[in-house]
Amino acid sequence: MIFPDAMLGMLGGGQLGRMFTLAAHSMGYRVAVLDPDRLSPAGAIADVHLRAAYQDRDALQQLADSCVAVTTEFENVPADSLRWLAAHCTVRPTGDSVAVAQDRIREKRFLTQNGFDVVPYTVIERIEDSHNVEPALLPGILKRARFGYDGKGQARVSTPDEVRSAFMALGSEACVLEKRVALTCEVSVIAARGADGATKSFPVSENQHRRGILDVSIVPARVSQALAEHAARCAQAVAVKLGYCGVLAVEFFVTTDGALLVNEIAPRPHNSGHYTIDACATSQFEQQVRTLCGLPLGDTRLLSPVVMVNLLGDVWQRGHPAWDAVFSCPEAKLHLYGKHEARTGRKMGHYTVLGVDADDALAKAVAVRAKLCPDFDLRAA
């Protein structure tokens, strides 16, 4: 086990790295962040901020020399950087498991080969592949295999011609075409697998998206206990089948015909798990520190029903938001990520609201939003 005050390394300096750093600091660890951005949210509070590219050998060497163990918060971190670091220090998760989650084609193959249910899909690697698309896959969503997030790198398509033009518009790079399925809701599970092979998961979160970006997470998810247990088992099984060590998130679709399909895997803590900071015995970030340091997994029990609401740059449209809207609700907790520029769609922070049950927390969270963003457009969902 790695004990405080060891130096832990983090590849990526976004909000996930920042919340990891906060958790690590409160446990007595030090953190070195590698991120090229001078203004990175995690770099701003880390003990060391190495400002360099993720492939920079000198920076990786410095990280290896100063850290006992290194992890990542950034899905698109070059897997080879993790593999290189692994020759010098403990690296969790491995470059190989991150590589599976980075690429939708590898991810889908991993999932289907291991018996997990996914949406009907096909791989479109070259323009000719669009000619033979099975009609049953349309209308569908064409998704670039790599570097997509928050709905970016995706196009809705209804005809083979649209598949063809969308493929070119997405840069003629490898894609998956998924059938567009009718959803009752979306849920996710944050799971963790420790160095000893033990697995645990946090309570299932029900996630609502707007414009392809997570908007609200509701916990416990308003689904049957059987479905929640199935999702938890699936997420932990994904971690086991991947030979994973660390925290991972599994996003699911709940279809109108009652099926639970794995949408995608994130090899790191996840936006839909931010509620754990205020509402669970252990947060997903403390769990990440624990897995990285080879400590036993922390208790994932939910202490209170909770709703998390994302704060995108849009909320700053008219200058600084009226934060008293959040602070005047005693059950609300504000988390801002220290980002300097509030761009449309950029995740700037979130707030969570505790309640006696999920519906109560949701009602309070919606009331806070109504005060915070009076012209919030519900139709834009």
Ligand X SMILES: Nc1ncnc2c1ncn2[C@@H]1O[C@H](COP(=O)(O)OP(=O)(O)O)[C@@H](O)[C@H]1O
Chain positions contacting ligand X, by CB under 6 A: 119, 141, 143, 148-151, 178, 180-181, 183, 186, 209, 212, 251, 263-264
- Cβ proximity to Mg ion: between 12 and 194 the closer is 12
183 contact choice in Mg ion, ligand X, none (CB below 5 to 8 Å, kind-dependent): ligand X
Peptide bond into 324 cis (omega under 30): no
Q: Report the 3 state secondary structure along 161-224.
A: HHHHHHHHHCCCCCEEEEECCCEEEEEEEEEEECCCCCEEECCCEEEEEECCEEEEEEECCCCC
- Cβ proximity to ligand X: between 141 and 277 the closer is 141
Four-CA torsion 40, 45, 47, 50, nearest 10 degrees: 10
151 contact choice in ligand X, Mg ion, none (CB below 5 to 8 Å, kind-dependent): ligand X
Minimum CB–partner distance for residue 352 and Mg ion (Å): 20
- Cβ proximity to ligand X: between 66 and 184 the closer is 184
Minimum CB–partner distance for residue 49 and ligand X (Å): 27
- Cβ proximity to ligand X: between 108 and 364 the closer is 108
Minimum CB–partner distance for residue 332 and ligand X (Å): 25
d(CA 243, CA 110): 12
The DSSP 8-state label assigned to residue 99 in this structure reads: H
Q: What is each CA distance from 53 to 35, 47, 91, 208, in whole angstroms?
A: 7, 19, 18, 34
Q: Using CB positions, name the residue nearest to ligand X.
A: 178
d(CA 239, CA 234): 9
209 contact choice in ligand X, Mg ion, none (CB below 5 to 8 Å, kind-dependent): ligand X
- Cβ proximity to Mg ion: between 38 and 211 the closer is 211
148 contact choice in Mg ion, ligand X, none (CB below 5 to 8 Å, kind-dependent): ligand X
Number of shown-chain residues binding Mg ion (CB under 5 A): 1
- Cβ proximity to Mg ion: between 251 and 278 the closer is 251
Backbone φ and ψ of 188, nearest 5°: -145, 160
Q: What is each CA distance from 112 to 11, 32, 115, 241, in whole angstroms?
A: 29, 37, 5, 12
Per DSSP, what are the bridge partners of residue 143?
154, 176
d(CA 87, CA 105): 28
Backbone φ and ψ of 34, nearest 5°: -105, 115
- Cβ proximity to ligand X: between 103 and 286 the closer is 103
Show the site string, 202-241: x = touches Mg ion by CB under 5 A, - = not: ----------------------------------------
Q: How many residues belong to the chain?
A: 381
149 contact choice in ligand X, Mg ion, none (CB below 5 to 8 Å, kind-dependent): ligand X
- Cβ proximity to ligand X: between 46 and 266 the closer is 266
Helix (H, G, I), strand (E, B) or coil at 29: coil
Contacts for 264 with CB less than 8 Å, ≥ 6 apart: 101, 104, 107, 250, 251
220 contact choice in Mg ion, ligand X, none (CB below 5 to 8 Å, kind-dependent): none
Closest-CA residue to 82 (of 70, 74, 73): 70
Show the site string, 237-276: x = touches Mg ion by CB under 5 A, - = not: --------------x-------------------------
Minimum CB–partner distance for residue 217 and ligand X (Å): 12
Minimum CB–partner distance for residue 152 and ligand X (Å): 6
Chain contacts with Mg ion (rule: CB under 5 A): 251
